[in-house]
Amino acid sequence: MNRFVITGARVFDGENSLGVVDVEVADGRIASVGGSRPAGVDLVDGSGATLLPGLIDAHTHTDAESLRQALTFGVTTEFDMLSMPEQMIPLRRRAATSNDLADVRSPSIGLTPAGGHPHQLRKGEGDPQWPTANRPEEVAAFVEGRIAEGADYLKVLVEDGQLFGSDALPRLSPELVEATVRESHRRGKMVLAHAMTVETVEQVVDAGVDGLTHLFADRPHTAELIEKIAAANTFVIPTLTVLASITGEPVGRQLAEDWRVYPKLTPEWRENLSGMMATSSREKFGYALETLRALKEAGVDLLVGTDAAHLGAPGMAHGASLHGELKLLTQAGFTPTEALRAATSVPAQRFGLTDRGRIRPGLRADLLMSTGDPTVSIGDTLSIRHVWRNGTYCAAAAINASKPEA
């Protein structure tokens, strides 16, 4: 039996701080929190550190190496937001049983018109022809096809390209979004929407989507739209990381220079993280922050996500960027505890993963131990001492656990 007790660490259980309590792990599960310490069991010293649930990145585009990199930063689950099924189907199987990778969920291909977003960003990727639907009566077959590929949820993309500096792109009609919601809900699947303007967000929320995969940032929000999102119980994944890249904010470069990040990334990924798209004006990042504050005040569920993708999508890196996203949330008015909930218990609850996102008996031992106290100083999440996935220790996560000598 793989059994150990983490001692001396402050514990944030995904919702609240519990103080310093023992956490016992047995066979990949949390056996007890604050219980009596069994005799003869291996002890892991957590003095001066905080134990957290494994972090969840609610918006990525991923592959095996990205999942391995994410795990070294304490990200134990990624929600992929669009992928090629011939890659994602075997990857999901592998990640489910390989404790050296973060776990992953995916919608497979998203519904977008022929030539619509993100085709303009994927030129040269060698994609096969994407399935789509041109009329509402074709949507049921599209939904069935994605479920057959193992989709955990469905995604629709409603994008005209303006924030990405693209020429006008074909845009998914409201009728097709409504049909996707109807057919997916009939089959017990959520629908998430890529929509990044006030106009398109209003359309997809009216259609009944369950979540928005980005903040909208084309112009200031309206109180009416914030109220509509809150009333619909639609969750939002802000992805400030990618919005910073789009608007030319140097968030990724600052993160890449952090001594806790630098040694865990290849030179190629450091360069990627340091870059930016800069396809839209900087004032739109300000719009995004104002919208985020309004959504928070309205009680909308907000989930941490980065949009980390592949090399060539600048300003992001799997795993590392989630810690940058947490910092951005606190700069937008979140308390550190609120930001941590948005990366643990809230995404687990909204995506129906009842076995993770919290430190409670019976749940998966997906755990991150960081030196310091992230509930006070959110930057301490990057001071990674240990990571476990299913109770299995990730040795690569401990690289540079202490600051190098100057």
pLDDT computed for residue 283 by the predictor: 94
Domain ranges of the chain: 54-108+149-153+210-356
Residue corresponding to tokens 């007790």: 5
CB 5 within 8 A of CB 23: yes
| Amino acid in the structure at residue 344 | T
Sequence-separated (6 or more) residues with CB below 8 Å from residue 250: 244, 276
How far is it, in rounded angstroms, from Cα 134 to Cα 146? 16
Q: What are phi and psi of 160, to 5 degrees?
A: -100, -5
How far is it, in rounded angstroms, from Cα 305 to Cα 321? 9
pLDDT computed for residue 161 by the predictor: 74
Residue corresponding to tokens 């199987």: 93
pLDDT computed for residue 322 by the predictor: 98
pLDDT computed for residue 119 by the predictor: 66
Helix or strand (DSSP H, E) at 4: strand 3-7
- The CATH fold of domain 54-108+149-153+210-356: TIM Barrel (3.20.20)
Low-confidence ranges of the chain (pLDDT < 70): 1, 119-122, 124-125, 165-167, 401-402, 404-406
pLDDT computed for residue 398 by the predictor: 84
